[in-house]
Amino acid sequence: MTIARFWRETPRRYNLGGSRCSVCTTVYFPPRTVCPTCTAHRQSLGKMEPFQLSGEGEVVTFSIVHEPAEGFEMQVPYALAIVKAVEGPLLTGQVVNVVPEEVKIGLKVHATFRKLREEGAAGVIHYGYKFAPKEEAGTGPRAGREAEPAPTPALSPDPSRARA
């Protein structure tokens, strides 16, 4: 990925910004410019508005990955889930801070931002969302695993400095 593309995609990458149709109020992630739900899609032209998802949701299905994609070899096994956000959209992401065998349909989760990968030894570090189980009051990380550190604000790119 080029640096210019990386900076252009930063606002979407570092928050769960979607869009909502002001005609039918359907929420989409990632953002859309036209609502496929409205009849004769032209009703939604120019009427899609930015919408921030809360990050809260529920696992609707999942799979335990034992044969990882390149770059994820050290993480197996891990749970990859489809999560229905409370606002409606379905999001795909890894479930962290839990032993994969403890993930189940109906598990309440929240989005958390984590390191996804690095490009080369001195390359760009990519962050993105994953899902963690919602903790019960007064408990620590699940299954005795330490929580992965979230990126510090100093490491987060400044979207206002982006160049085309």
Q: Which of 85-89, 96-100, 139-143 has the lowest mean pLDDT?
A: 139-143
Long-range contacts of 69-72 (CB under 8 A, 24+ apart): 71/117
Higher-confidence position of 4 and 112? 112
Higher-confidence position of 89 and 153? 89
Residue 64 sits in the same domain as residue 138: yes
Residue 66 sits in the same domain as residue 136: yes
Residue 27 sits in the same domain as residue 86: no
Residue 99 sits in the same domain as residue 29: no
Say how far residue 22 (Cα) sits from the centre of its chain: 24
What confidence tier does 64 reach under pLDDT thresholds 50, 70, 90? very high
Cis, peptide link before residue 149, omega less than 30° from 0: no
Q: How many domains does the chain have?
A: 2
Q: How far apart are CA 20 and CA 87, in angstroms?
A: 10
Residue 99 sits in the same domain as residue 119: yes
- The pLDDT value given to residue 7: 60
Q: Which of 60-64, 74-78, 143-147 has the lowest mean pLDDT?
A: 143-147
- The pLDDT value given to residue 42: 76
Residue 99 sits in the same domain as residue 122: yes
Residue 25 sits in the same domain as residue 60: no
- Whole-model pTM above 0.75? no
Residue 21 sits in the same domain as residue 45: yes
pLDDT above 70 coverage of the chain, percent: 70
Residue 71 sits in the same domain as residue 139: yes
Within-domain flag for 155: no
What confidence tier does 155 reach under pLDDT thresholds 50, 70, 90? very low
Which residues constitute the domain of residue 89?
Answer: 56-144
Let me know: does 14 contact 55? Beta carbons within 8 Å: no
Of 63, 66, 101, nearest to 82 by C-alpha is: 63
Within-domain flag for 114: yes
Higher-confidence position of 120 and 28? 28
